[in-house]
């Protein structure tokens, strides 16, 4: 399943969402300019390597923040930024731009921490914005349960577009991540099936669900906010 768009109309221009997309793109373009050796050194320095993270030593905490701006390839960054583009504007609209920025960064840190704690012996670098974006998905799940996601499903090479309730789409996504995460624990280091940091996705989503309400505290929302759908 590939999300095309959601059915909630944002009331404001998502400045922070676009800024995050641009920063991620700039960092990725920098990555592509590096030699293989330089890229490896860059990833080792700024991605999370769980085996090197020492919570008692603040000097090792930096990658918990920087890892969410690194990506491992074109498909990796495009899929992440597309998901942020679809869901980030609504959550930013709900929280306000400044709160959304803090929420996003904190969600990414907690997602990275979840991955490190669940795979403490792994020497495989964990990188990408997907943990922070999973926090955005968790907040979206909380704020917009009545939304729908227009989804592309390839069916025998024929395009099939279907509206799926957001709670179903995101619920299925979370369950699939949880299943893969539990399965990955049977593999040394907890990194399985293409080296995906499943626990960062799980941790980020749960963090987003938990943080959504306190981050939205004091923000006024007009009663018909959730009922404004894009025509389809």
Tens of pLDDT, residues 63-73: 999 999 999 99
> Does the residue 132 lie in any domain?
yes
Q: Give the pLDDT band (50/70/90) at residue 29.
A: very high
Q: Give the pLDDT band (50/70/90) at residue 196.
A: confident
Q: For position 181, what pLDDT does the model report?
A: 86
Q: In angstroms, rounded to a whole number, what is the distance separating the alpha carbons of residues 131 and 103?
A: 12
Q: In angstroms, rounded to a whole number, what is the distance separating the alpha carbons of residues 68 and 127?
A: 6
> Does the residue 8 lie in any domain?
no
Q: In angstroms, rounded to a whole number, what is the distance separating the alpha carbons of residues 85 and 88?
A: 6
Name 230's Cβ contacts closer than 8 Å, sequence gap at least 6.
Answer: 5, 6, 7, 8, 9
Provide the whole-model pTM: 0.90
Domain range enclosing 156: 14-218
Query: Two tokens at 227?
Result: 């009922």
Whether 201 has a pLDDT exceeding 50, the answer reads yes
Helices (H), the chain: 15-32, 36-46, 63-66, 74-95, 97-118, 130-143, 166-184, 198-216
The angle at the Cα of 103, spanning 101 to 108, to the nearest 5 degrees, equals 100
Look at the chain and report how many structural domains it folds into: 1
> Does the residue 226 lie in any domain?
no
Q: In angstroms, rounded to a whole number, what is the distance separating the alpha carbons of residues 201 and 106?
A: 14
> Does the residue 228 lie in any domain?
no
Whether 226 has a pLDDT exceeding 60, the answer reads no
Percent of the chain with pLDDT over 70: 89
CATH of the domain at 28: 1.20.1540.10
């Amino acid at each position: 399943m590939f999300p095309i768009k959601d059915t909630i109309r944002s009331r404001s221009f998502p400045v922070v969402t676009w800024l995050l997309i641009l920063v991620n793109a700039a960092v990725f373009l920098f990555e592509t300019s590096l030699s293989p050796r330089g890229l490896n050194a860059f990833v080792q320095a700024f991605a999370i390597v769980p085996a090197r993270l020492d919570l008692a030593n603040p000097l090792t905490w930096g990658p918990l923040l920087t890892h969410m701006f690194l990506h491992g390839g074109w498909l990796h960054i495009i899929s992440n930024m597309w998901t942020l583009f679809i869901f980030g504007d609504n959550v930013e609209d709900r929280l306000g731009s400044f709160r959304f920025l803090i929420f996003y960064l904190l969600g990414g840190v907690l997602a990275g921490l979840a991955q490190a704690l669940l795979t403490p012996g792994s020497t495989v670098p964990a990188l990408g914005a997907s943990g922070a974006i999973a926090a955005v998905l968790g907040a979206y799940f909380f704020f917009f349960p009545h939304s729908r996601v227009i989804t592309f499903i390839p069916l025998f090479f024929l395009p099939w577009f279907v509206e799926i309730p957001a709670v179903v789409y995101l619920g299925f996504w979370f369950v699939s991540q949880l299943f893969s995460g539990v399965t990955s624990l049977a593999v040394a280091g907890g990194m399985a099936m293409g080296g995906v940091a499943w626990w960062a996705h799980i941790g980020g989503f749960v963090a987003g669900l938990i943080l959504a309400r306190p981050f939205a505290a004091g923000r006024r929302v007009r009663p018909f906010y959730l009922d404004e759908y894009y025509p389809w």
